[in-house]
Amino acid sequence: MFRPRKRGKALGAVVLAVGLVAAPVTGVAGAEPAPAGVPPRTVTLITGDRVVVTGTAVGAFQPGPGREATTFHTVHRDGRLHVVPEDAAKGIAAGKLDPRLFDVTGLIEAGYDDARSDHVPLIITGTPTTGLQATRALPGAVAAQAPKTGAAFQDLLADPGVTKVWLDGMLRPTLDRSTTQIGAPTAWRTGLTGKGIRVAVLDGGVDGDHPDLAGREIAERNFTDDPDSADLDGHGTHVAATIASGNRTYRGVAPDARILDGKVCVNGGCPQSWVMAGMQWAVDEGADVVNLSLGGYDSPDIDPLEEAVNLLSEKTGALFVVAAGNGGRSRSIDSPGSADAALTVGAVRHDDDLAHFSSRGPRNGDGAVKPDITAPGLNIVAARAAKAIIGTPVGRRHLSLSGTSMATPHVAGAAALLAQQHPDWTGTQLKSALMASAKPNPGLGVFDQGTGRVDLPRAITATVGAAPVSVTFEEQLWPHHDDTPVTKTVSYRNSGKDSVTFDLVAELRGPDGRAAPEGLVIVTPARVTVPAGGTTAVAVTADTRVGGLDGVYSGALVGGPTRTPVSLAREVESYDIAVEHVDAEGNPALDHTTALVGMNNDVYTNVYGGNGTATARVPKGEYMARSVVRTGAEVAVLARPSMTVDADHTRFTFHAAVAKPIRVTAPDPAALAVISDINVARVFNGRRVVLNTAFFAGFDGMSIGHVGPTLPEDQLGVSIGAQFQAAPVDGTPVHYRFRWVEHAVPDGFTRAPTMDELAEVRTSFAPGPADRRHLHSGNASPLDGSGGWSVLLPVPAGGTVVDRITPDQLTWGWSYTRQSPEYRTEADYSSFNRKYALGGDYAERFLFPVLGPGLSGYSATYLGLYEDRITAQVPLVNDRAGNLGRASHETARTSLHRDGRLVGLARDQVAEFTVPAGEAHYRLEHDVVRDPKANELTTRISGAWTFRTDVLPDGHGRRLPLSVVRFTPELDAAGGTPAGRLLRVPLTVEQQDGADNGEVREVRVDVSFDDGKSWRRVPVVEGAALVRHPHAAGYTSLRASGSDSDGNTFEHTVIRAYKITG
């Protein structure tokens, strides 16, 4: 089901066709929890509320200042997590807030977690009057930075001048024979070289000193926070050289074009606001063509970036040539390639077959045809910037890269040649000519290739083009027997000196790949004559009453010299549904929030109706829903795990009177309730969806009830949790943390556990800076996967906390977070899968040294290969107990070498590298430097691992061999050992779970007492290194190295692993 690409609500609700939030599994009852192993991240939302995310559905909240009474709604589905405060849910439903602001998974992916960003970057449309300071004027919008205190949120929501608050999303660069493949030499022989044409390259900077680009850069501007405009990774220089290189061997498509170098990307990505500012600068500088080899998430609405492309194209006549993206699947076109005016480029191989990574249409939201065209994008060789860290080197001055990023400049260069040939043409005319003359691959559809691969010999000789360049009919609502035929006009323009006559045929295929029924699309007249210098219009009529499958049809109007893409959609069986909300007194509930999630489709929506009844249009199918209905101070949580939408089921009622009270108390009647939550998890055909509601208070005034049909126990899991804070005992904080599991939604719930029904966990924390905030949380992960949430509570630095918990049917996880005085997260640690017995006493420890690499007990992929991409994220600061950690750093560097040559370098602990085919010897290196002012110990961690591998076939992946050594010496509470003593340092070899690791038979250990300036080997006896310390106070650094029986090696170093006390 598609939705119009416009701002607003669809039938009373915002319906997003997205893949949202969760952990997929294959069962509920008795299922083991999803494997953990991803270091925790803290994310502060625009509201000021903090969310701690671990490798499972378990997490913790810290409400923003004054927001303790806020209700939170979360959804887990398909590996993603959304956390939506109730006051934000209505802003989303009203179309004023971008849902991405609450996509916690997406915020982490963009680098907006607290460890990497101290603000929430925004793009605001409209005419805001709020006091939030604009950081940059943009086409049709302004950029701003919201502080993570949440201070700006309510002001923005209430500001009548604000049309919409968008996340300033992070875009990414969409990573010889190719010019011949598109026919550029033919154009060169006619004198077309791009002379006099300005092409803007908005990218990561261009190395204008490279010999291939000598004299070609005529202007540059840096829109990033880098200190200068230098290309620090190599992407932008490669793109610019593909357009305008003068090298005889690696010649650009338009070697005489002039380059406008707008730096809008850094190694971490390309914020939309930087890109938009660069676009305005480019057209102000007179760019004829603007190359955007970048992209990111495309929402169903027209986002500010798409709007800027459309507005600037219309206003200036410039042509924006944009990468389609590297999603490699249907409906994965990136923004701004999704803009109407963009000439959107997919990638093909040298044989014109589609590259496996090239994003395919249709466009999200309305089913329009994208990409528009394709070009070579696999193993493209072009100039290598002096500071390049990506790609496969080809000699000293060139490198090979693949991606739609590489395809895009081929088309930008082709557009430059056409612009030289036709200096009076607008960007729209250039786009039309390139698309009309492209060479189609008969084995591909228009959603794969648009009109085909750019073909310069045809483009420079073609005279006929179409307007519009493609035709998209709006989706016709089901049922289709009474559809009204829709007619659109396509005009053909002839720039030649002779009239042209051709027959037009509509060639479309249906959702099953077969030819569309006759009469679905009719062209009138079928024979067209376009006079010289003139235009001729034809009528294209879609009659969706014609029989056939429901779904999307796509193809082209084919005639003589032209191809015009066409798409239309017969909506699948769908219904307008009404969701009625009734309060406890029988009146329409004006205060309600209802989440509706598809179990066999991708619908997720929060429905809201001002009169108590909300409406939405959704496909026939199976859904689950959760509604919160308020009657004064009373709150009813109503869950409908099974909600079938079909011809007989289109009205659903959530009546608060169904719900019965929830009563949960702690053994200590004076304990204060700090959070309570209700989670409903359903499994349907192997897909799990979890809906959660959390309250920062107890269950007083709350009730719960089941609505609709019941489900078998193996399809439904419900967990109810409550946490209390008691008075400290001898200065030690005491918490009660409860969770219970049901296999039906209860009508009311009462629990009053006694001490005999609990286990006690005493957690100790290593000393830390007194001026920091030290926070602790604990939560249970029910075996049925129904999840739950916790709240971050303060603990004393270097102190202890006591948690009294319910152990039955649960595994527990614990976390520790350290925040700076400015609330910036400096460290996140977590443990998983702890099991406790009734009545038991247990101990946990956090942050005790040595902090260093560790893998024990976790099964995430820390070093992996998927197709031709190697990913690395080795945990470097796990603590002595093996808790998985992530800590802030001053610098981080990850590099990969192949047979001794650099493949790439990332300035982060997490990296992905694309590698060429062929078995080779690889060396991965990590190096992280931490702030010694905030971290006395483990001030630097470095590691190197070697292994052999080849690439894998499409769709295949595996974990690569990885070994680390964990140091576990007995130290005092401050991480020290006396000077002059012999210390036994036990060693534990840990290997990546699921990898083909060889056996490690020997480990070598070196020590340093001068922060790594000098080293000496120490003996290893019975699994422990024997370290004799000097008589003076100082620090000990440790280095371990070794190899396994397959020849894979490892070496890692921890500077200042522990203290030597005097």
Look at residue 796 and tell me if it is in a domain.
no
Please list the helix, strand and coil fractions of the chain in percent, rounded to the nearest 5, in that order. Answer: 10, 45, 45
Dihedral, 266, 267, 273, 276 alpha carbons, nearest 10: 70
530 and 413, same domain (yes or no)? no
Pairing of strands 1034-1044, 1049-1061: antiparallel
* Number of CB atoms found within 10 A of residue 223's CB: 23
pLDDT (0 to 100) of residue 219: 96
Q: What is the three-class DSSP state of 1062?
A: coil
Look at residue 292 and tell me if it is in a domain.
yes
For the chain (length 1062 residues), average pLDDT per consecutive 10?
39 27 24 47 91 67 84 82 88 90 90 88 89 86 90 90 93 72 91 96 96 95 92 94 94 97 91 97 98 93 95 98 94 96 96 94 92 95 90 86 95 98 96 95 95 96 93 95 96 94 95 93 96 96 92 93 93 95 94 92 86 93 94 93 93 96 96 93 88 88 94 91 94 94 94 95 92 90 72 90 90 89 85 90 96 83 92 93 87 92 85 88 96 90 97 91 97 94 96 94 96 97 97 97 97 98 88
**What is the identity of the amino acid at 1041?**
S
DSSP character for 342? S
Distance CA 867, CA 280 (A): 38
| CATH number of the domain encompassing residue 362 | 3.40.50.200
Q: In sequence order, which ranges of 660-750 are alpha helices (DSSP H)?
A: none
What does each C-alpha distance from 925 to 374, 392, 868, 1038 come to in angstroms?
36, 17, 19, 17
What does each C-alpha distance from 402 to 174, 375, 377, 390, 879 come to in angstroms?
9, 12, 5, 11, 39
> Which of 103, 114, 159, 203 does the annotation list as catalytic?
203
> Which of 338, 358, 405, 642 does the annotation list as catalytic?
405
What does 443-497 look like in DSSP terms, one character per residue? TS-HHHHTT-B--HHHHTT--EEEESSSEEPPPBPSP-TTPPPEEEEEEEEE-SS
450 and 492, same domain (yes or no)? no
Helix 304-316 vs helix 272-284: crossing angle, to nearest 10: 0
* Number of CB atoms found within 10 A of residue 228's CB: 10
Q: Is 177 exposed, middle or buried (0-12, 13-18, 19+ CB in 10 A)?
A: exposed
DSSP character for 63? P
User: By the 8 A CB rule, do 513 and 486 touch?
Assistant: no
Pairing of strands 392-394, 398-401: antiparallel
Distance CA 471, CA 554 (A): 10
User: By the 8 A CB rule, do 811 and 832 touch?
Assistant: yes
User: By the 8 A CB rule, do 537 and 484 touch?
Assistant: no
> Which residues have C-beta within 8 Å of that of residue 731, sequence separation ≥ 6?
796, 799
What does each C-alpha distance from 484 to 509, 633, 682 come to in angstroms?
21, 50, 40
- The pTM of this model reads 0.82
**Of 22, 18, 10, whose CA–CA distance to 691 is shortest?**
22
User: By the 8 A CB rule, do 24 and 688 touch?
Assistant: yes
Angle at 274 between CA 409 and CA 264, to 5 degrees: 40
The residues that bridge with 103 in the sheet, in sequence order, are 82
**Of 334, 347, 263, whose CA–CA distance to 305 is shortest?**
334
Q: What is the three-class DSSP state of 182?
A: coil
Look at residue 184 and tell me if it is in a domain.
no
Structure tokens at 86: 């109730």
Q: Which helix (H) or strand (E) holds 181?
A: helix 178-181
451 and 517, same domain (yes or no)? no
The backbone torsions φ and ψ at residue 425, rounded to the nearest 5 degrees and listed phi first, read -80, 145
| CATH number of the domain encompassing residue 513 | 2.60.40.10
**Of 835, 832, 837, whose CA–CA distance to 758 is shortest?**
837
Q: Is 743 a catalytic residue?
A: no
* Number of CB atoms found within 10 A of residue 561's CB: 18
What does each C-alpha distance from 649 to 13, 577, 652, 758 come to in angstroms?
18, 8, 8, 45
Choose the final residue of a domain: 570, 592, 623.
570
Structure tokens at 159: 């500001």
The residues that bridge with 794 in the sheet, in sequence order, are 775
How does pLDDT run across 542-579, given as a tens digit for each residue? Answer: 999 997 899 999 999 999 888 999 999 999 999 999 99
Range of the domain at 1034: 863-1061
Distance CA 275, CA 67 (A): 35
**Of 1054, 888, 1035, 877, whose CA–CA distance to 971 is shortest?**
1035
Q: What is the three-class DSSP state of 402?
A: coil
> Which residues have C-beta within 8 Å of that of residue 1010, sequence separation ≥ 6?
none
Look at residue 355 and tell me if it is in a domain.
yes
Look at residue 934 and tell me if it is in a domain.
yes
**Of 814, 692, 708, whose CA–CA distance to 764 is shortest?**
814
Q: Is 245 exposed, middle or buried (0-12, 13-18, 19+ CB in 10 A)?
A: buried
422 and 279, same domain (yes or no)? yes
308 and 404, same domain (yes or no)? yes
Dihedral, 450, 456, 458, 461 alpha carbons, nearest 10: 130
Structure tokens at 555: 């193809």
**Of 854, 934, 926, 844, whose CA–CA distance to 888 is shortest?**
934
Report CA 1059 to chain centroid distance, whole Å. 40
Look at residue 804 and tell me if it is in a domain.
no
Q: Structural domain tally of the chain?
A: 3
Look at residue 758 and tell me if it is in a domain.
no
Per residue in 1011-1028, is it b (16+ CB within 10 Å) or e — as a string? ebeeeeebebeeebbebe
Q: Which helix (H) or strand (E) holds 240?
A: helix 235-244
The residues that bridge with 812 in the sheet, in sequence order, are 780, 834
How does pLDDT run across 838-883, given as a tens digit for each residue? Answer: 999 999 999 999 999 999 766 788 999 999 889 999 999 999 999 9
User: By the 8 A CB rule, do 330 and 17 touch?
Assistant: no
418 and 527, same domain (yes or no)? no
323 and 421, same domain (yes or no)? yes
3-state secondary structure 546-575: CCCCCEEEEEEEEECCEEEEEEEEECCCEE
Choose the final residue of a domain: 570, 601, 618.
570
277 and 347, same domain (yes or no)? yes
304 and 427, same domain (yes or no)? yes
329 and 408, same domain (yes or no)? yes
> Which of 73, 76, 82, 235 does the annotation list as catalytic?
235
Given phi > 0 = left and psi -120 to 50 = alpha, else beta, which region is 452? Answer: left
987 and 1048, same domain (yes or no)? yes
427 and 311, same domain (yes or no)? yes
How many Å from the N-terminal Cα to the C-terminal Cα in the chain? Answer: 72
Q: Is 405 a catalytic residue?
A: yes
**Of 437, 465, 451, whose CA–CA distance to 530 is shortest?**
465
**What is the identity of the amino acid at 491?**
S
Distance CA 512, CA 712 (A): 35
Look at residue 637 and tell me if it is in a domain.
no
Choose the final residue of a domain: 549, 570, 591.
570
